[in-house]
Amino acid sequence: MKPAWASKRAARRRLLGAVAAVVLAASVAAAQTPAPRTPAAQTPSVQTRTYRAPRTADGQPDLQGFWTNSTYTPLERPDGVTKPFYTPAEAEAAIKLAVQRESAQTEPGTTADVHYDFSQFGLDRSQSLYVRSLRTSLIVDPADGKIPPLTDQGKRRTAQRGEEQKKLGGRWDSAESNQLDDRCLIMAGPGPPMMDAGYNSNYHIVQSPGVVMILTEMIHDVRIIALDPSTRSGSPPASSTGDGRMLVDPKIRQWMGVSRGRWDGDTLVVETTNFNAKNPFRGSDENLKVIERFTRVSDDTIEYRFTIDDPTMWTRPWSAESAMKKTVGPIFEHACHEGNFGLYNTLVGARLEEKNAAEDALKKGAK
């Protein structure tokens, strides 16, 4: 099954291939540079001491442009890995293995083979710009690189969700039992937190006085982040809480929460609350709070750090750090139209499989 949009994207990927290759070559060279005495010296945060980000017309650090957070670095540290940083050679080996897994072909004629070919249509991360890092995980706190344990209430909530899913039946039994991305409702890219979506992990950031807009390519969701006027030069004071953050009505609950931003020096700090728990991040609920920090540390890099705090689900807050690399625009609409037709076709296919299985069972019983 090869949707039309995939061919369009393939043409775009080929057009941008030369640019991506140049950037990747530079990244590889940087990654293979002999390591300094401490791995931490290789992280982008060190650059913030000497780099000054360009300014917008109203004097704010300029984060605008097209960016990608595509990466092979996993959120959690793999089992058996006991250190926060790989050597350059180890990092290259880990990426090579991940590329092999991603580009592996399914067996023709099988159910697993009914999908569009990522490699053929240029959707593999290795065929476009992606963020390289020596980190063994995006999670930097806790130090073990793992998501903290669930609370007792979190365990009960997780079990309850499992039971609710069972009541809906199998994944292909009904429209409701299909996952959210099956139905093209929402996907991982927009967050918050903003995570690598597997492909199409691209963003367009636009700033205006008082507002930051982040357009996500993966299913074209848009985040509108209102900025606290008290942190913008020349602006009147806002109705806010004691620490300067704008008030959010607790009755407002949204799929991606409600985001409010403020400037802390050259860092954009975005706090998101008021989730509706219909799109849980890693099992979180409506009590989730996400704090993101965007800091431009070079012309082509934004350091992105987020902290997850949901006392209902986890025994402690946890934080992760990655980077966003400048890429080439524009961003094309990822309309996910195949979901409009695919849902019906998926259910029809599931019913046909059930019918065939029942007929086979009758034949066996008749023998």
Question: The whole model's pTM is what?
Answer: 0.77
pLDDT tens digits along 200-256: 889 999 999 999 999 999 888 899 999 988 766 544 444 444 444 577 888 899 999
Are 306 and 125 in contact, with CB atoms under 8 Å apart? no
Are 268 and 296 in contact, with CB atoms under 8 Å apart? no
Residue 121's pLDDT band, with cuts at 50, 70 and 90, is low
Q: Which residues of 216-252 are buried (b: 16+ CB within 10 A; e: fewer)?
A: bbbbbbebebbbbbbbbeeeeebeeeeeebbebeeee
Per-residue pLDDT, 30? 37
**Mean per-residue pLDDT for 113-130?**
70
Radius of gyration of the chain (CA): 23
pLDDT tens digits along 286-299: 999 999 999 999 99
- Tokens at residue 342, please? 């695919």
Using a 10 angstrom Cβ sphere, with 0-12 exposed, 13-18 middle and 19 or more buried, the burial of residue 15 is exposed
Using a 10 angstrom Cβ sphere, with 0-12 exposed, 13-18 middle and 19 or more buried, the burial of residue 143 is exposed
Q: Which residues of 150-163 are buried (b: 16+ CB within 10 A; e: fewer)?
A: bbeebeebeeeeee
pLDDT tens digits along 53-72: 999 999 999 999 999 998 98
The superfamily CATH assigns to domain 55-87+136-336 is Calycin beta-barrel core domain (2.40.128.20)
**Mean per-residue pLDDT for 173-186?**
83
Residue 338's pLDDT band, with cuts at 50, 70 and 90, is low
Domain residue ranges of the chain, discontinuous segments joined by +:
55-87+136-336, 341-367
Q: Which residues of 99-112 are buried (b: 16+ CB within 10 A; e: fewer)?
A: beebeeeeeeeeee
